[in-house]
């Protein structure tokens, strides 16, 4: 921590999500965004003026050279994360990466090794939905044994049209190019799904996976490289017998919906883990007096901010010298699962993780 006993943060990349992080850090006590970097000079100047940030750089390496910076948040396209993260860790900075932390398990492993050697925190924003009130309530119910023996989980996230670079965020066409993005829907949003799943259960280990991927919804523009999946899914077999049916789509001819369903021997549970953007859905299914009943607990969950919670966790991890919500080691594990899904699709058979 800096001599002023205040956490000093640098933001690398001040586009849409970078600005969200700036706003988040501004409300955290004893913390401030001291510097920002972006190769887009007009975007950089606008962010600095709007949020009164004293130091700006067009080269991120100049930001990393500032001795007073304790931690950085990397908000550039994911194919550039590793290079910047390795440089930041070598400069002695704690690192929070936007999701996915990087584009391959091998890349994640290199980042984890550097963080361990540097004795610094490496965290990913893919853990932001672990702070969802529905996810935390579901974990509490599972941990307390209310569902009995949990034997099966389904995770389903379907968007009718939500492809980056096509349906929104028109400048993010790199998301459609596997050589840059590493994958499509199963990496972009699937990394959230795995974080939610592993946030619900302790010591979860996926042993085998049978997956599929599909691309071909509508006719994409001919001038774009588009070789990542729009829709994918997998059947996961976990250590101890738990099975998971997982599906995620950027685009599909179906209504948009997100549900997690947890099946137990005594009761079941269904909820929407993304409830911050819509009406909260949270229901328990059980037998009472020999009759099936459905219970919808009070949904006056505490208000939460999907982007604020993850930066609060990062700052607290620095202050208390503890692991963050999603450390690099976990992200490495998730990327191995996603890569196994891709291997399974290419081989048309189940594979070991």
Asked if 61 contacts 37 with a C-beta cutoff of 8 angstroms, the reply is no
Preceding peptide of 100 cis, ω within 30°: yes
57 domain residue, yes or no:
yes
19 domain residue, yes or no:
yes
Residue 302 has pLDDT above 90, yes or no: no
| Same-domain status, 107 and 160 | no
According to DSSP, residue 265 is labeled S
| Same-domain status, 193 and 281 | yes
| Same-domain status, 249 and 321 | no
78 domain residue, yes or no:
yes
Domain count, the chain: 2
Residue 350 has pLDDT above 50, yes or no: yes
Higher local confidence (pLDDT), 220 or 329: 329
| Same-domain status, 182 and 78 | no
208-266, pLDDT tens digit by residue?
999 999 999 988 788 899 999 999 999 999 999 999 999 999 999 999 999 999 999 99
pLDDT value for 4: 54
According to DSSP, residue 132 is labeled -
Which pLDDT band holds residue 2 (cuts at 50, 70, 90)?
very low
What's the rounded Cα separation, in Å, for the pair 68 and 20? 22
| Same-domain status, 263 and 238 | yes
pTM: 0.94
36 domain residue, yes or no:
yes
2 domain residue, yes or no:
no
109-160, pLDDT tens digit by residue?
999 999 999 999 999 999 999 999 899 999 999 999 999 999 999 999 999 9
Q: Which domain holds residue 97?
A: 7-128+308-327
The rounded mean pLDDT for the chain is 94
| Same-domain status, 193 and 119 | no
| Same-domain status, 168 and 115 | no
| Same-domain status, 50 and 171 | no
Asked if 72 contacts 47 with a C-beta cutoff of 8 angstroms, the reply is no
1 domain residue, yes or no:
no
Q: What is the CATH number of the domain that holds 254?
A: 3.30.360.10
Q: What is the CATH number of the domain that holds 112?
A: 3.40.50.720
Asked if 156 contacts 254 with a C-beta cutoff of 8 angstroms, the reply is no
């Amino acid at each position: 921590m800096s001599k002023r006993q205040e956490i000093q943060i640098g933001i690398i990349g001040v586009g849409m999500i970078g600005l969200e992080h700036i706003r988040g850090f501004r409300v955290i006590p004893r913390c401030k965004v001291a510097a920002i970097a972006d190769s887009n000079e007009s975007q950089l100047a606008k962010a600095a003026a709007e949020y009164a940030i004293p130091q700006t750089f067009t080269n991120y390496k100049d930001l990393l050279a500032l001795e007073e910076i304790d931690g950085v948040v990397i908000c550039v396209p994911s194919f550039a994360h590793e290079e910047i993260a390795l440089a930041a860790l070598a400069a002695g900075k704690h690192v929070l990466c936007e999701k996915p932390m990087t584009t391959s398990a091998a890349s994640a492993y290199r980042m984890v090794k550097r963080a361990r050697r540097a004795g610094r925190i490496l965290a990913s924003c893919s853990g932001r939905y672990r702070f969802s009130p529905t996810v935390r309530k579901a974990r509490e119910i599972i941990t307390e044994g209310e569902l009995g023996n949990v034997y099966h989980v389904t995770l389903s996230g379907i968007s009718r049209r939500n492809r980056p670079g096509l349906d929104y965020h028109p400048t993010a066409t790199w998301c459609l190019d596997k050589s840059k993005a590493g994958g499509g829907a199963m990496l972009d949003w699937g990394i959230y799904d795995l974080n939610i799943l592993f946030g619900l259960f302790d010591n979860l280990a996926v042993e085998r996976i049978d997956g599929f991927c599909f691309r071909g919804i509508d006719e994409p523009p001919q001038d774009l490289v588009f070789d990542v999946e729009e829709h994918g899914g997998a059947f996961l077999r976990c250590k101890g017998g738990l099975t998971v049916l997982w599906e995620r789509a950027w685009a599909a001819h179906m209504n948009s919906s997100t549900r997690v369903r947890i099946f137990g021997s005594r009761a079941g549970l269904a909820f929407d883990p993304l409830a911050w953007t819509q009406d909260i859905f949270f229901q328990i299914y059980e037998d009472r007096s020999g009759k099936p009943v459905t219970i919808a607990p009070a949904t006056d969950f505490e208000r939460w901010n999907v982007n604020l919670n993850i930066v609060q966790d990062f700052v607290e991890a620095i202050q208390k010298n503890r692991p963050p919500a999603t450390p690099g080691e976990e992200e490495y594990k998730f990327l191995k699962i996603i890569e196994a899904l891709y291997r399974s699709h290419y081989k048309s058979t189940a594979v070991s993780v």
